[in-house]
């Protein structure tokens, strides 16, 4: 069987295993305070523009900035954990998180957000993307509620980039949401479990630095993009850095051998391995997209990222399932099923060819 | 600098990196449902005696038993996470966990237990070991409280084996606590972060099977004993298996690439690598113990496991700290400090020799 | 100004103040263990049929039944508190509560349910009523989810009788939902903040005993129906009685002077004061309903209980608001607004006449 | 039987029932926004000095001050609820509350604090009183912990005045603790369930205004001091006023008919009824104290408030229990028992005489 049902079914970029093997018997301090983690965090902060020298900066200001960015990047083990820790950090007990109804935090984390005491304020979407208008309406709707204190206060906004449906926010769309969030002082957090597969899409008009500028926090996913595991959280807004490590520890996310995360992210980001791996997955996904279009399959979602969505007849589905694992989304009618076809950094071009032939 | 301050400062047994490298590009399903995880769990269940054929068992009973033990072992990422998930699973909201005041859940998990809503009912101990009498008093003290419903109901007992102070419960002691727990129907859970370093101690009179028989749940620590990371939770009592995977996911502990855990525990347990690694650490620790005794250093804790404790004068401490990292426990008076010296599966015999010379 | 915007704007039935005054300087034990509370609870258990002698019951069985029903009724202070305590009692951490999207627990309790760690699984409704089919679909949808452990398990069903929209479940509808709940072993809980105003409606085909038979727990609202404050929780299913008082205390709902609740419910239920007060409110509400229909106002909800709903033009609304307080539900278009008109046990007939004239 | 076992066994000051009766059929808006509640809160803010005109204040500053103090006082239903809501408001998830090990929040609230996710950092005391030194040590001990992020951050201090043991902090002691709290920016909260019985003690050298100046928040207990129920929370520090009403609602403490609380506190504080009632209880308690001393009974706690503590032989205890209800604290040895004897605002002088005779 050839797997196309998700993007975390292989191990990791071989360079990572090499790095782990080479450093295996070195002794380092634990909990992410080792040199590899420090270097990886610094590298990511640099890439996000957090450490840019400001025009006209004095030496004293530069020192302050450097010290300040020390707490800007954290390396955590997994996505549910990262989302839970961040949301629990940002919200006060009477606040909830605005999210698309399809958002991962709303549907696929076994209520981890509610488990920390917070309501997910899920807004309906056709395609998994929130709009600035929706966010503003949710915030104002609360402010104008005559029973304001009887309802949950929107305390942050959660987006996924790309969305769980494979789609991308344009720069204009993200700017719009960001502006609303800043106007009402509601932090904006982006779940970047597949951020590389978004930024490397030919449709993306956003850069990593744009995201760092427009959001308060976001994470760069490792698990689905070439690491064994791990997510790099970037806290762009210095307001949200204080005491953050307590939350990682409390949330069970502080790896004793933190260097495992440091070494992985260092390997992915010291050159542009992360982006190469992402580009590969997108290229293979777009081959599948082209084949779907060419062969007249409907596009269930109009995605230019590593997740492709189509609708198959029962007969087509059964036939494909003999050789390929796909992810079933929903029955669209008695005879048809929407499916997701996923590529990853490790997808073999020849397997894509086999799938295309079989379509 | 040579590190003796804890037991998670190197990577992992080289055999594990080899296994990860060999299987790296295989495709497997996620979340611990892959064949490697299945095999590792089966192996651990076998070692713990959970799958023993019962005398006079019919074929139907055997099938039921096999099905039943499928949910007996779970592989999680870290210790705080495992403790939190287990305690949150076992307790009802009005219940708390009985633990020694030195217990890891009481002092070093940033209130992770309370974060899930539960009080740690910490009992005072001189050396980190609970007694059966203490546990019984705590349970009866609650039952006889005239304001019973105004106080927290003891809902489980948490022990560490070995304790955070390097000590071991004898078989008799564990039997005593187990009997009390069963009498009052309070589940008994053992934190086995260093269980191998306990069972391989020359002082240990317990076996893995004994622990499986006497407790309701316990975990076999990987992080500190040769794995990159990972803990294998064994749910001996079938009462506590239902729906457990929901709790792992909700607690952020369900690794997407679950096979990483499967491969590690399979490597450690398919032969007796885990026990060899543990024995090595204990052997090296006992060399240090002997040297301490021979040179007249006081034993701060009378440990026969991989953690050794002594008291140093300020001068001795400063001198040792020039070349060795030790873990400071507390100032015992103005001139003396209690320290912990830790060995691990990876400790080099020559480094121990250097330390002994320097004492 | 004459208030019609809600049903908790006067004090209480004068008989209650008399009872409080007469007993004021008596000394009784606290926390609901006093004789008045005991008697009130017994009376309510009797009315609900929980203490009925069973056909062919032996004396021993009768004793057991009597002892068993001792924990069947609890008196709490308020509605949000009762809902929170019950839901927190019933659910395990990985479970959520199925409710109508208009349900009080979903919208007007400042996330109190989520604050205890649980997701509200809100189902969309046109009129605030759940159907048996919806409940079944939600339960089965979870059971058949391939990522079952990544989603919240439906752990109970929450209904309001009457609904927040003034509507009533028929006996057939409630039987349908009850049957589904029993089939899948999911407890059914009814929020009866206005239960009297439901049962005294001419449209009601349910009795108090029916509700006690068809549900696992429900509460009889005092706050909105003649008491100063207080709700009587009835735990029909003995499975859910154990340790319940711990949850009341933990939830801040155990009144030190518990007899205040006992005296109130005893006064309301020793004869049929509670039902008389409820009938009065419904009678007055139906006068308003008739006037609305007669004068051609649309019925926004087709209610036969103490809450009436209509749509007013802006001009009508402004005119009425000069003399009457109404509750605004929503703007239905630029020129119209849906409003709620509430009567209560204390509504004066002459005030209703004034409102009718003004319509 | 004559009750001396606690101070909440009668109803309330008759003036309160009169006020409730007189206003019973008035219509007021709910949730504490009615005129009676507003007036009561204003009165309490005035008494605490929160609304004092500042020297040299401009008109604009005066307006700001008045607006600011609007959120300074809140009326809640009970003590456990008030403590839980306040602590949950003040603490972030990684923080805990410093309290004496005998503190009500640590022992008698069924883990309500932990239920909101927070550890009680209980410090050992001989008599139930914390010292400034202890508080400082706890704060510094955390700051200097090498594993700082693995332990709970002290986030506030909880005191009881008087303590659960009947004792009083002197002005100097409270100033000392207050100074430490301000130095380390840790809010100080005082549980004043019996504050009147403290302030009216001949030993008290603190005034209500002193407490308002030295603490960040405290509450004035009604339940044990003449009200039917209710506690008036005073938020002295404006930093802790924002959004407070959400927490009351979420915590189940927002009474629908809020005016019941308003009317009670207005009755207690419009003149000096509250203080008269408190003085009466203390006078009666001191009669008992004198008799104990005169007759040679040991004082188990050296209390000058409404709670008296002594040690009785088994024989003495049995004899007294024939006619009086006392509160058993603990067996001090096989033949002796420590007991608490409580007076209240409603204690009859002749009953105290009977008790004294019986001693």
End of a domain among A208, A241, A272? A272
pLDDT band at D104 (very low <50, low <70, confident <90, very high): confident
pLDDT tens-digit readout, B232-273 = 999 999 999 999 999 999 998 899 999 999 999 999 999 999
Contact D119 B109 (CB under 8 A): no
Nearest chain B residue (CA) to A244: B110
Clarify whether residues A241 and A295 are in a common domain: no
Interface of C with B (CB under 8 A): 31, 88-89, 92-94, 116-117, 149-150, 153, 243, 245-250, 254
Q: What is the CATH number of the domain that holds D229?
A: 3.40.640.10
Contacts with D17 (C-beta within 8 Å, 6 or more apart), sequence order: C17, C20, C21, C24, D11
Which of C94, C110, C116 is facing A150, going by the closest CB pair? C110
Sheet holding B153-160, edge to edge: B73-76, B231-235, B217-221, B188-191, B153-160, B95-100, B120-123
Question: Can you give the C-alpha Rg of chain B in angstroms?
Answer: 21
Nearest chain D residue (CA) to A92: D92
pLDDT band at A345 (very low <50, low <70, confident <90, very high): very high
Out of B63-72, B196-205, D109-118, give the one with best mean pLDDT. Answer: B196-205
Contact B114 D108 (CB under 8 A): no
Nearest chain A residue (CA) to D243: A149
What is the total residue count of chain A?
359
Q: How many domains does chain C have?
A: 2
- The residue with greater pLDDT, C231 or A60, is C231
Q: Which of B26, B21, B267, B259 has its CA nearest to residue A15?
A: B21
* C-D C-beta contacts closer than 8 Å: 143
Q: If you write DSSP's letter for every residue of C65-116 in order, what string do you get?
A: HHHHHTTSEEEES-HHHHHHHHHHHH--TTEEEEEETT-HHHHSSTTHHHHT
What's the confidence (pLDDT) of residue A65? Answer: 75
Judged by average pLDDT, the poorest of A317-326, A332-341, C143-152 is C143-152
pLDDT tens-digit readout, B325-358 = 999 999 999 999 999 999 999 999 999 999 999 9
What's the confidence (pLDDT) of residue C223? Answer: 97
Nearest chain A residue (CA) to D149: A246
Report the distance separating Cα C175 and Cα D3, nearest Å.
Answer: 49
**Cβ burial, residue A325 (10 Å; 0-12/13-18/19+):** middle
Contact A223 B2 (CB under 8 A): no
Clarify whether residues B266 and B281 are in a common domain: no
The residue segments making up the domain with residue B288 are: 2-8+274-358
Interface of B with C (CB under 8 A): 31, 88-89, 92-94, 116-117, 149-150, 153, 243, 245-250, 254
Clarify whether residues C65 and C160 are in a common domain: yes
What's the confidence (pLDDT) of residue D74? Answer: 97
What's the confidence (pLDDT) of residue B65? Answer: 75
What's the confidence (pLDDT) of residue C57? Answer: 83
Contacts with D359 (C-beta within 8 Å, 6 or more apart), sequence order: D291, D292, D295, D297, D320
pLDDT band at B110 (very low <50, low <70, confident <90, very high): confident
The answer to whether C228 and C253 are in contact (CB under 8 A) is no
End of a domain among D245, D271, D297? D271
Which chains lie within 8 Å of chain A at 3 or more CB pairs, if any?
A: B, C, D
Contact C153 B243 (CB under 8 A): yes
Which of D111, D116, D146 is facing B152, going by the closest CB pair? D111
How many percent of chain A have pLDDT more than 90? 88
Contact C150 A111 (CB under 8 A): no
Clarify whether residues B237 and B341 are in a common domain: no
What's the confidence (pLDDT) of residue A108? Answer: 85
Contact A246 D153 (CB under 8 A): yes
The residues pairing with C301 across neighbouring beta strands, listed in sequence order, are C309
Contacts with C116 (C-beta within 8 Å, 6 or more apart), sequence order: A117, B93, B117, C84, C87, C88, D115
- The residue with greater pLDDT, D92 or B59, is D92
Contact C111 A120 (CB under 8 A): no
**Cβ burial, residue A315 (10 Å; 0-12/13-18/19+):** exposed
Clarify whether residues A292 and A234 are in a common domain: no
Clarify whether residues B348 and B243 are in a common domain: no
Clarify whether residues A310 and A188 are in a common domain: no
Clarify whether residues D286 and D321 are in a common domain: yes
What's the confidence (pLDDT) of residue A104? Answer: 87
Clarify whether residues C60 and C131 are in a common domain: yes
- A-chain CB neighbours of D245 within 8 Å are 149
Which of B28, B78, B109 is facing A255, going by the closest CB pair? B78
ipTM of the complex as predicted: 0.94
pLDDT tens-digit readout, A254-311 = 999 999 999 999 999 999 999 999 999 999 999 999 999 999 999 999 999 999 999 9
Q: Which of C280, C305, C241 has its CA nearest to residue C70?
A: C241
Contact B149 C93 (CB under 8 A): no
How far away is chain C from the Cα of D146, in angstroms, using its nearest Cα? 32
Which residues of chain C are under the pLDDT cut of 50?
none
> Residue A68: pLDDT above 90?
no
> Residue D318: pLDDT above 90?
yes
- A-chain CB neighbours of C108 within 8 Å are 147, 150-151
Clarify whether residues C88 and C141 are in a common domain: yes
End of a domain among A215, A250, A272? A272
How many percent of chain A have pLDDT more than 70? 100
- C-chain CB neighbours of A111 within 8 Å are 94, 96, 117-119, 152
Tokens of D359: 């001693």
How many percent of chain D have pLDDT more than 90? 88
Q: Which of D193, D190, D186 has its CA nearest to residue D173?
A: D190
Clarify whether residues C185 and C287 are in a common domain: no
Which of D87, D115, D137, D144 should one mutate to test binding to chain B, selecting the residue with the greatest count of B CBs within 10 A? D115
Q: From residue C209, how far is each of B124, C44, C50, C176, C221 by CA, in Å?
A: 52, 11, 9, 17, 16
Question: Can you give the C-alpha Rg of chain D in angstroms?
Answer: 21
Clarify whether residues A298 and A237 are in a common domain: no
The mean predicted confidence, pLDDT, of chain D is 95
pLDDT tens-digit readout, D260-314 = 999 999 999 999 999 999 999 999 999 999 999 999 999 999 999 999 999 999 9
* B-C C-beta contacts closer than 8 Å: 41
Relative orientation angle of helices B349-358 and B273-294, to the nearest 10 degrees: 10
pLDDT tens-digit readout, D155-203 = 999 999 999 999 999 999 999 999 999 999 999 999 999 999 999 999 9
What's the confidence (pLDDT) of residue A137? Answer: 96
What are the φ/ψ torsions at residue D118 (nearest 5 degrees)?
-120, 140
Tokens of B281: 């650490």
Q: Which of B274, B299, B334, B294 has its CA nearest to residue B165?
A: B299
What's the confidence (pLDDT) of residue C69? Answer: 76
> Residue A48: pLDDT above 80?
yes
Contact C328 A146 (CB under 8 A): yes
Sign of the four-CA dihedral C9, C14, C15, C20: positive
């Amino acid at each position: 069987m050839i797997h196309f049902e998700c993007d975390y079914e292989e191990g990791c970029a071989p360079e990572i295993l090499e790095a782990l093997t080479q450093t295996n018997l070195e002794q380092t301090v634990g909990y992410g305070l080792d040199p590899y983690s420090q270097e990886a965090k610094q590298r990511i902060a640099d890439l996000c523009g957090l450490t840019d020298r400001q025009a006209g900066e004095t030496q004293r200001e530069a020192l302050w900035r450097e010290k300040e960015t020390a707490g800007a990047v954290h390396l955590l083990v997994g996505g549910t954990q990262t989302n839970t820790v961040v949301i629990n950090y940002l919200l006060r007990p009477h606040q909830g998180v605005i999210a698309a109804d399809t958002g991962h935090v709303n549907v696929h984390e076994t209520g981890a957000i509610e488990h920390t005491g917070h309501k997910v304020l899920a807004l309906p979407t056709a395609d998994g993307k929130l709009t600035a208008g929706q966010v503003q309406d949710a915030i104002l709707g609360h402010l104008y509620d005559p029973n304001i204190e009887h309802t949950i206060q929107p305390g942050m906004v959660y987006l996924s980039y790309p969305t769980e449906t494979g789609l991308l926010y344009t720069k204009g769309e993200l700017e719009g949401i960001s502006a609303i969030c800043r106007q009402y002082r509601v932090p904006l957090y982006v779940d970047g479990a597949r951020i590389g597969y978004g930024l490397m899409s030919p449709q993306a008009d956003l850069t990593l630095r744009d995201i760092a500028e427009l959001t308060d926090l976001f994470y760069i996913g490792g698990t689905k993009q070439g690491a064994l595991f791990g997510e790099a959280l970037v806290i762009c807004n210095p307001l949200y850095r204080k005491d953050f490590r307590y939350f990682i520890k409390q949330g069970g996310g502080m790896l004793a051998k933190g260097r495992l995360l440091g070494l992985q992210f260092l390997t992915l980001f010291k050159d542009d391995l992360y982006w190469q791996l992402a580009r590969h997955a997108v290229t293979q996904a777009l081959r599948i997209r082209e084949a779907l279009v060419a062969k007249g399959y409907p596009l269930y979602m109009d995605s230019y990222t590593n997740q492709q969505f189509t609708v198959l007849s029962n007969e087509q589905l059964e036939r494909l399932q003999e050789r390929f694992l796909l992810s079933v989304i929903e029955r669209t009618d008695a005879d048809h099923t929407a499916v997701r076809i996923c590529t990853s950094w490790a997808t073999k071009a020849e397997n894509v060819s086999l799938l295309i032939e079989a379509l």
